[in-house]
Amino acid sequence: MKKPARKALWLVALPLSAGMILYLAWPSRAENGPTSLPASSSTVSAQEHRIDLSATQIKSVQVETVSVHDFIQKQEALGNVALNDDQTVQIFPPYAGKITEIYSDLGHDVAKGAPLYAIDSPDLQQAESTLIAAAGVLELTQQALERARALYAAQGIAQKDLQQAISDNQTATGNYSSAYDALRIFGKTPRQIEDLLRQKKVDARLVVFCPLAGRVVARNAAIGTLTQPGNAPAPLVVADISTLWMIANVTETDVTGIGLGQSVEVALTAFPGRTFQGHVTYIGTALDPNTHRLPVRTEIKDPTHELHPGMLASFVIQTSRVIHAPGLPQDAVVREGDGTLSIWITTDRHRFFKRSIRIGLQQDGLYQVVSGVQPGELVATEGAIFLSHAFETETR
């Protein structure tokens, strides 16, 4: 009597165990979507590369309409931030002298026309003395000319004496104009020159002014330093940092796709997640013989002065015109075991047909489809990988 009872218990336990195993083995849904298609009676046609889904399975597959997107062919290159040499000036004095004062220090922002430093210039002293002397001679010759004209009118002198007085006055006028212009070259204003002539006091102090608005990026002198025009290094270097250069080194295989004026997106390690916009302003003429790379220069605006020379940057350069082509989300494209790419097309959201495609550019999570699909067709996106898996499983 015990054997039949034990056999009955096994008959009851076996279905329960099998049900528990199936329950535990049944895949669950992830937050981002199903990990597999729900079990149901799907129909597979190996000859037509078709799979028909049940109403339950259809809920696990997302279908989207193929649309046209703009794809831009881009090229990446590495480089670094640099000062804009076209807006960087080495501030030399116009004449030799010893620095007596410095008004701006390294890192200071200066306005156009602001004083930078002053020197004690023997050349300026000589020029001022020459102007004072020329002004005195001019005044004497003008008085002599007036007397000569009066005497000539009274027939008190010969005509040649009048002509000599006129000639002396003209010479004095030319010397005065030359001395006056010399001081203007030194940077003296008309008002300062008038004060000099009125006071007749020589001042050898020459102030050097800033020719552009910017920031002092280098200082190579101190008070007491003897400086000369063109004798590097300059006492101060000022740069307009509202625009900077991005210099990238592009491989020779990518050079042909780059042209002047092309748009550039610059990403810097110091600013993750941000990009700065610029355009190509210069392309090198010769490759580096060691690296076989060509320098490409980009100008980028930095009005808030966030960037600094020497920062590492990644350049993305637009190398061609905009391409209008069908685009598919990456989830819609399935890479098969043989390396080919395929998608699942449907017309009624019930029957799905497998189709091979060729892709081109990748941009913003989309694949550019070169061939295999047309705009307006319906394609499976989320769940496409599981369609392929189910198809392969059923056709083995």
What local confidence, expressed as pLDDT, does residue 26 receive?
36
pLDDT tens-digit map of 320-341? 667 889 999 988 999 888 888 9
The band of 42, judged by pLDDT with boundaries at 50, 70 and 90, is low
Rounded Cα–Cα distance for residues 162 and 150 (Å): 10
Residues 263 and 387 in one domain: yes
- Report the mean per-residue pLDDT for the chain: 83
Sequence-separated (6 or more) residues with CB below 8 Å from residue 78:
248, 249, 312, 313, 314, 315
Q: Of 189, 223, 240, at which residue does a domain stop?
A: 240
Whether 20 is covered by a domain: the verdict is no
Handedness of CA 369, 371, 375, 380 (dihedral sign): negative
Whether 276 is covered by a domain: the verdict is yes
Contact 110, 116 (CB under 8 A): yes
> Which is more confidently placed, 268 or 7?
268
- Alpha helix positions (H), 219-313: none
Residues 323 and 385 in one domain: yes
Residues 214 and 295 in one domain: no
Distances in Å between the alpha carbon of 284 and those of 238, 243, 248?
26, 20, 10
Whether 161 is covered by a domain: the verdict is yes
Range(s) of the domain holding residue 213:
87-121+204-240
Residues 261 and 329 in one domain: yes
Whether 329 is covered by a domain: the verdict is yes
What local confidence, expressed as pLDDT, does residue 45 receive?
66
Please give the model's pTM, rounded to 2 decimal places: 0.58
Residues 166 and 312 in one domain: no
Tokens of 206: 């020459």
The band of 118, judged by pLDDT with boundaries at 50, 70 and 90, is very high
For the chain, how many residues are written?
396
Residues 111 and 161 in one domain: no
Q: Identify the weakest region by mean pLDDT among 52-56, 132-136, 214-218.
A: 52-56
Q: Identify the weakest region by mean pLDDT among 77-86, 144-153, 384-393.
A: 384-393
Residues 111 and 127 in one domain: no
pLDDT tens-digit map of 180-223? 998 888 878 889 899 889 998 888 888 899 999 999 999 998 99
What local confidence, expressed as pLDDT, does residue 236 receive?
95
Q: Of 201, 220, 253, at which residue does a domain stop?
A: 201
Residues 168 and 288 in one domain: no
Rounded Cα–Cα distance for residues 98 and 135 (Å): 28
Whether 16 is covered by a domain: the verdict is no
Checking if the pLDDT of 239 tops 60, the result is yes
Q: Of 148, 180, 201, at which residue does a domain stop?
A: 201
Residues 166 and 218 in one domain: no
Checking if the pLDDT of 394 tops 80, the result is no
Rounded Cα–Cα distance for residues 37 and 387 (Å): 8
pLDDT tens-digit map of 287-321? 888 888 889 999 998 888 899 999 998 888 766 66
Task: Taking residues 247-256, report their average pLDDT.
Answer: 82
Q: Identify the weakest region by mean pLDDT among 12-26, 35-49, 90-104, 231-245.
A: 12-26
Whether 319 is covered by a domain: the verdict is yes
- Please count the other Cβ atoms lying within 10 Å of the Cβ belonging to residue 354: 18
Q: Identify the weakest region by mean pLDDT among 67-81, 87-101, 158-172.
A: 67-81
What local confidence, expressed as pLDDT, does residue 15 receive?
44
Checking if the pLDDT of 250 tops 80, the result is yes
Residues 338 and 361 in one domain: yes
Whether 180 is covered by a domain: the verdict is yes
Domain count, the chain: 3
Residues 281 and 330 in one domain: yes
**CATH number, domain containing residue 347:** 2.40.30.170
Residues 348 and 266 in one domain: yes
Whether 9 is covered by a domain: the verdict is no
What local confidence, expressed as pLDDT, does residue 166 receive?
93
